[in-house]
Amino acid sequence: MRRPILFASAFAAAVVLAVAFFTVHAANQPMPTVGQVAPTFTLPSQDGSQISLASFRGKWVVLYFYPRDMTPGCTIEAHNFQRDLAQFEARNAVILGVSVDSPGSHQQFCTKEGLTFRLLADTSHRVVDAYGSLGNFAGVTIANRNTFLIDPTGKIAKVWTKVNPQTASTDVLGAIPGVGASPNSVKPPTRTN
Supply the residues annotated as catalytic: 74
DSSP string, 77-119: HHHHHHHTHHHHHHTTEEEEEEESS-HHHHHHHHHHHT--SEE
> How many angstroms separate the Cα of 182 from the Cα of each of 71, 172, 185?
37, 17, 5
Strand duo 60-65 + 93-99: pairing: parallel
d(Cα 108, Cα 101) in Å, to the nearest integer?
A: 11
Query: Which residues are registered as beta bridge partners of 121?
Result: 99
* Rounded Cα distance, 85 and 88, in Å: 5
